[in-house]
Amino acid sequence: MSAPESEISNRVPLLLRVSAALSWRFVVVIAALYVVAYALSFLASIVIPVAIALLLAALLSPGVAKLVEWRVPRGVATTLMMIIGIGVLGGVLTFVISEFSRGLPELQTQVAASLDTIQTWLKDGPAHLSDQQLQNYINEIVKTIKENQAEITSGALTTAATLGELLTGLLLALFTLIFFLHDGDGIWRFVTRAVPRDVRQRVDVAGRRGFGSLVSYVRATAVVAIVDAVGVGVGLAIIGVPLVVPLSALVFLGAFIPIIGAVFTGAVAVLIALVTNGPIAALVVLAVLIGVMQLESHVLQPLLLGRAVKLHPLAVVLAIAGGLVTGGIAGALLAVPLLAVLNSGIRSLVSDSDAVQKPEKVDVLNPQDTAPKDDKSERVKEL
């Protein structure tokens, strides 16, 4: 007769049993995460606009809550904040586009002058290229463009399709934002009904804390973006680089992707300074950009974002890298907010004090401090 199953199990080394138990659980978790990631990627055209609407709701909801506190009807408050938000964004974009159009002729003139300078340097400098050699290089470039005309046309069509998808996503985000601002608390209560009753209260607290972290993140990021844009803009204006306002606005938008966003958008400013004002000006702009990034990394990030999301800088960098690899620009934009929400929500779920937490009714889009208090009498009742 074979030994009982318990005896066989006991003969297996403890380390092997623990490793096997951890391994199959790890495989199950990874498989579940893969299914979730696949579903999200398949529904990316819906998930990304809704996520962006949630970020905008975190930005605008304090204004709605303040108007409601002043006894303004919620529908009117939502309408006013939507008008203000769309008006500010539209005004900024209109101003940037008009300034870019106004400065484009000057930019073209400076680019042409820079190209003439480069051509003169190629002929009179160390390269000592002749006019025939320069013409041959230009002809090769034109020939390459003609040979790849089909790919360029296909890329233009793909860009047109992408613009159509962006417009559709924008409309979906605006439509979703209206409902988030108007009835965010009702939507959250509906979601929590899918949670078992015995843990519904803890999930409710965790969700509200997660959204509170999101609100703090958006506020802190907006302040950091403004400082980055003003710092780079002042430096560009002093040096005399054209298109100061559009480049500053570009830095402001890029700063919403922590750490790497302002670097890439600032690189555009350095390139324009190199083309229009020469290498010395480009080096000065690069120094200004490095100074602003140092201010952001060592002062603003720890003081503002560090307190808002309570994440280690390494976690932020890895989250952005992972989001960029898996979801492109949208993934990099949403990675840190998602990590902040998960961090706050999971910490709340595993907190023993939240088991007896009974938060007041709070608008999920205007979360107040729901931190648990050490109420010993409440714990005695639970026991």
d(CA 20, CA 14): 10
**DSSP secondary structure code for residue 355 in this structure:** G
Question: Which residue in 272, 264, 224, 263 sits closest to 244, CA to CA?
Answer: 272
Q: Which two tokens stand for residue 309?
A: 């999301």
- pLDDT for res 280: 86
- pLDDT for res 29: 92
- pLDDT for res 32: 92
SS3 369: coil
- pLDDT for res 129: 64
Question: Which residue in 326, 319, 339 sits closest to 44, CA to CA?
Answer: 326
Cβ atoms within 10 Å, residue 3 = 10
- pLDDT for res 5: 62
First to last CA, the chain: 50
d(CA 222, CA 218): 6
CA distances from 179 to 62, 82, 329 (A): 15, 11, 26
* Positions of the chain with pLDDT under 70: 1-10, 96, 99-100, 103-104, 106-108, 110-119, 121-135, 137-139, 141-164, 258-259, 301-303, 305-309, 352-383
DSSP 252-313: HHHTTSTTTHHHHHHHHHHHHHHHHH-HHHHHHHHHHHHHHHHHIIIIIIIIIIHHHH---H
- pLDDT for res 28: 93
Question: Which residue in 37, 85, 86 sits closest to 331, CA to CA?
Answer: 37
- pLDDT for res 72: 86
Give per-residue pLDDT as tens, 252-280: 877 777 667 777 888 888 888 887 777 88
d(CA 51, CA 343): 17
DSSP 177-196: HHHHHHHHHHHHHHHHTTS-
Count Cβ atoms within 10 A of the Cβ of residue 52 and give its class: 0-12 exposed, 13-18 middle, 19 or more buried.
buried
CA distances from 354 to 130, 169, 332, 366 (A): 78, 37, 32, 20
Count Cβ atoms within 10 A of the Cβ of residue 72 and give its class: 0-12 exposed, 13-18 middle, 19 or more buried.
middle
SS3 359: coil
d(CA 362, CA 366): 7
Question: Which residue in 249, 241, 288, 244 sits closest to 265, CA to CA?
Answer: 249
What's the residue count for the chain?
383
CA distances from 299 to 132, 251, 253 (A): 55, 18, 20
Largest CA distance in the chain: 96
- pLDDT for res 30: 93
Task: List the chain domain ranges.
Answer: 199-370
